[in-house]
Amino acid sequence: MAGVTATLGLGAVILSFLGASPLEAYRLIVTGAAGSPERIAYALTAWAPILLCSAGLLLTFAAGVWNIGIEGQVILGAICATGTLRALEHGAQGWVGVMLAGLAALLGGGGWGVLAGALRAYGNVNEIFGGLGLNFIAGSLTVYLVLGPWARTGIASTSGTLPFGDALWLPAIRIPPFVVPAEVIVGLVAVALVSGTLGGARFGLRLKAIGKSARAAYIRGVPITREMLWAFATCGGLGGLAGFVLVTGAYSRHQLFPLISGGYGFLAILVVLLAGHHAGMGILVSAFFAAVSTGSLQLPLQMQLDSSMGGIIEGMLVLVVLMLRGLLSRLAGARR
Amino acid sequence: MHVELKDIHKSFGPVRANDGISLVAEAGTIRGLLGENGAGKSTLMKILSGFSRPDGGQILLDGAPVSVTSPAEAIRLGIGMLHQDPLDFPRLLVLDNFLLGSPGRWIADRRRARDTLSALAGRFAFTLDPDSTCASLTVGERQQLEIVRLLWLGARVLILDEPTSAISAPQRITLFAALRAMAEEGKVVFFVSHKLEEVQSLCDTVTVLRRGRVAGELSMPYATGRLVELMFGRDPQRAPRARVTPGVPALELAGVTLSDARLTVADLSFQVCAGEVVGLAGLEGSGQHQFLQACAGLVRPAAGRVRVAGHDMTGRPFREFLAAKVAYVPAGRLGEGLIPGLTITEHVALADRRRAVFVDRRAAAQSAAQRIREFGIRGTPRTTVEELSGGNQQRTLLALLPNDLAALLVEHPTRGLDVESAEYVWGRLLERRARGTGIVFASSDLDELLDRSDRILVFFTGRVAGPLDARRTSVEQLGELIGGAGF
């Protein structure tokens, strides 16, 4: 809470420096995220992929690794979902195609995650560097697909593949006057499942043990390589599902396009950094990030400010909270 | 220069590494600092050389109190320290390493430095090529480089921390000659070692440290027996003990060679039988750790065979050793033995080998509570292990061991424990031995080794003597072997 206050204060300083009224800017962000049922629906649409990625990252975080490759895993999920939908578009019933696309995304993202994990386990490549490399490869793959095999006929543009018809969209639940995209439910269920895994499953306990001390866990007989690969697989799978909802969500673009991951994976890393092991906290922080991200889109329209102000606020929140934590632990140390 | 340390105190948590140490070293002398691992030698020298600050006490150079706040300040005062592992930059050239740390210059005068380096090296018969990289040098040569660098920076007090642990015999002769030459030039040399023979042949005076205090000071010529006695102390009380007839071999090594960056243990054959206790003696880092890890299946021997209860287990993964009922209790109770941040219940749950998706919290908590009662652990099932005291951590480690074991490998079973806890730990270990477990333990406590073992292996820089019959060995004999006499 102190972190949020300090961040808003610092943000206000920056905004005043830019000659803008901080209060007006914050009002726009709030109304931009929650000003109308439609805007709320957009904010919820942004929330779902962050939730899914955060759920996955809670696992790898518990195991003490930084799955920076989450962005690539999101992209792979989007690619696999798109590929499946293209193949089934005219063959199967809509909902069957969507379910299969979700499964393909889960497997594709999971596979990409296992790759990062295997590079670490067997190739001695730090998961941060391996993940970054795999992110680049996944990003380039989308460009290739969008310009090459999956290009729209007669158009050579990176704007994206041919959008899918609405039979292949995820449903939205109408609770007048609100509209809730179905993927939000998927995201919340994922966080709940991961939270349960970390709290009560043997897999979760083993991951925690590995995260606290891989050496001791090994000597105590925990199969650390296997569990670590499963953590990467599950995290990548959930990232892949995020890619799937980015393609099929009711308010998404219903196509594959370069940079489809949109930084949601990186944002989720920040969420987990702030939330630590607390799934509930992760839900709150990711909702805040989703709201700021969508709300700040109003800034350029109304105030001639760039929408990157949202990113500045998010980044500052992370830095301020981490700094406060550091200061507190230093104070605690000094008192001892 | 005349160096005086007055009443130096330094604690790390509850451990008093230096507990009121005073000593005086005159110019032109070589002062030996002798003691076991953990006696406080390195701590004292790190304080003198500015790497750590004392909690209390004074350092006087030529009678004037000084405050050594950093290694840079130390070298400005004329104090230079050569660390156990040379602190150099392997990828840089010898000349660049020589230039590093030279004060107050933006542009290094490479030509002059090259001349100085050659001149200094020549004076002590060191062979250093300024244009090769540090990585291509042997440890001995890297030491030589560090010595000339410190001298060039104006060191008049030179501290060497275990300098001979990784260098060849000819290099040692060169080093000792150089140290004598430096003493003749009026420098003060501090020589930290736990090797009796080296200290005896090199040092004018020896200060023996034990448990953070000065146990005594001796001058040349030395009586070995007296040095050993000062180093280890002595306790003539030998407890009576039950005779156990050893059974079939529980764990065997045949012609095993172990090799890592620092040390090689070559061609070792050994077996521990069911119901037998074998002690591993030796100063820390002499090979016992590698030996136990090889027995546990944590490191793979470079050559030779490992057999558990008659089955060849050479090169098998660690989990198969666990399945073959070999257990290892490491020296690092937290971070190796126990997982910091997890509770006792979670440790119990982790050890559960059933195939189930969910943790049975209630069963684990009940089992934890029962073990806590049985082993007298001061804690609750929900206590995280880092909140436990050292003795209670050791009890927890024992409580978590499986019931039925072929071989139990323990590092320092009672280190840091009070007498009561130590007795308790051994009571538990001997119970297991009576049930037919073969026990191998490493210890630096001579009395523990002699009292508890049936046979003792002595390690000295990777070489192994013995096995000795513990009943027919005296503290003096064991102490001399540990110090390297007879190897």
**Residue B140, both tokens:** 């001995």
Q: Would B331 be classed as within a structural domain?
A: no
> Is residue B330 a part of any domain in this protein?
no
Q: How far is A214 from chain B (nearest CA, A)?
A: 8
Question: Is 50 exceeded by the pLDDT of residue B236?
Answer: no
For residue B332, being part of any structural domain is answered with no
Size of interface A-B (CB pairs under 8 A): 63
**Per-residue model confidence as pLDDT tens digits over A218-262:** 999 899 999 999 999 999 999 999 999 999 988 888 888 888 888
Please tell me whether residues B32 and B144 are part of one structural domain: yes
| B79 and B227 fall within a common domain | yes
Is residue B290 located within the same domain as residue B363? no
Residue B240 has pLDDT above 60, yes or no: no
Q: Is residue B128 part of a domain?
A: yes
Neighbours of A40 (CB within 10 A): 18
Six token digits for residue B346: 């979670």
Angle between helices A22-34 and A308-335 (to 10 degrees): 110
The pLDDT assigned to A48 comes to 95
Same structural domain, B106 and B65: yes
Contact call for residues B184 and B157 (beta carbons, < 8 A): no
Q: What is the pLDDT of residues B138-165, one digit of tens each?
A: 778 888 888 888 888 888 999 998 887 6
Rounded CA gap, B273 and B246, in Å?
6
Residues B286 and B212 in one domain: no
Q: The tokens 């001298």 sit on which residue? A: B151
- Residue B396 lies in domain: 340-401
Sign of the alpha-carbon torsion through B136, B139, B144, B150: positive
Measure CB to CB from residue B350 to each of A200, A201, A220 and give the nearest one.
A220
Across the range A183-194, mean pLDDT stands at 94
Q: How far apart are CA A218 and CA A214, in angstroms?
A: 6
Amino acid at B292: L
Question: Based on the domain organization, do B138 and B269 belong to the same domain?
Answer: no
Alpha-carbon gap, residue A194 to A143, rounded angstroms? 33
**Residue B408: pLDDT band by 50, 70, 90 thresholds?**
very high
- Do residues B37 and B129 share a domain? yes
Q: How far apart are CA A126 and CA A324, in angstroms?
A: 28
Residues B226 and B286 in one domain: no
Q: Do B346 and A205 touch (CB under 8 A)?
A: yes
Radius of gyration of chain A (CA): 21
Condensed to tens digits (0 to 9), the pLDDT of residues B55-78 reads: 989 999 998 999 888 888 898 899
* Alpha-carbon span B361 to B316, nearest angstrom: 33
Is the domain of B266 the same as that of B410? yes
Instruction: Read off the pLDDT of residues B338-374 as tens digits, 9 standing for 90 and up.
Output: 999 999 999 999 887 777 888 888 889 999 999 999 8
Q: In CATH, what number is assigned to the domain containing residue B448?
A: 3.40.50.300
Global ipTM: 0.83
The answer to whether A336 contacts chain B (CB < 8 Å) is no
* Cβ <8 Å between A220 and B351: yes
- The verdict on pTM exceeding 0.80 is no
β-sheet bridge partners, residue A54: none
Q: Each residue of A115-124: pLDDT tens digit?
A: 999 998 898 8
Beta bridge partners of B281: B458
Hey, of A193, A198, A205, which one would you mutate to test binding to chain B, going by the most B CBs within 10 A of its CB?
Answer: A205
Beta bridge partners of A180: A173
CB atoms A219 and B346 under 8 Å:
no
Per CB-CB distance under 8 Å, the chain A contacts of B342 are: 208-209, 212
* Three-class secondary structure of residue A165 per DSSP: coil
Does any domain span residue B104?
yes
Note the helical H segments in chain A.
2-17, 22-34, 37-62, 70-88, 94-123, 127-147, 182-200, 202-212, 214-219, 224-248, 264-275, 279-295, 298-303, 308-335
Q: In what order do the strands lie in the sheet with B79-82?
A: B79-82, B157-161, B188-193, B30-34, B205-210, B213-219
Residue B331: name the closest of B292, B300, B299, B301 by CA.
B292
State chain A's mean pLDDT as an integer.
Answer: 88
Interface with A, mutate which of B289, B352, B359 (most A CBs under 10 A):
B359
* Residue B335 domain-assigned (yes or no): no
Mean pLDDT (chain B, rounded): 85
**Distance in Å, alpha carbon of B103 to nearest chain A alpha carbon:** 33
- Lowest mean pLDDT, pick from A38-42, A278-282, B243-247, B378-382: B243-247
Domain extent listing, chain A:
37-277
Residue B158 near residue B112 (C-beta atoms within 8 A): no
Inform me whether the C-beta atom of residue A226 falls under 8 Å from chain B C-beta atoms. no
- State which H helix or E strand residue A172 sits in: strand A172-175
Q: What residues in B contact A202, CB-CB < 8 Å?
A: 349, 352, 356-359
- Give the total number of structural domains in chain B: 3
Residues B175 and B214 in one domain: yes
Regarding whether B200 and B108 lie in a shared domain, the answer is yes
Residue B334 scores a pLDDT above 90: no
Last residue in a domain, options B197, B232, B267: B232
Q: B173 in the Ramachandran plot: left (φ > 0), alpha (ψ -120 to 50) or beta?
A: alpha
The residue out of B232, B259, B274 marking a domain boundary is B232
For the stretch B264-299, pLDDT in tens is 888 888 889 888 999 999 887 788 888 999 999 998
B396 and B439 assigned to the same domain = no
In B, minimum Cα distance to A216 occurs at B336
Structure tokens at B428: 């538990």
pLDDT band at B103 (very low <50, low <70, confident <90, very high): low
Indicate the residue type of A17. F
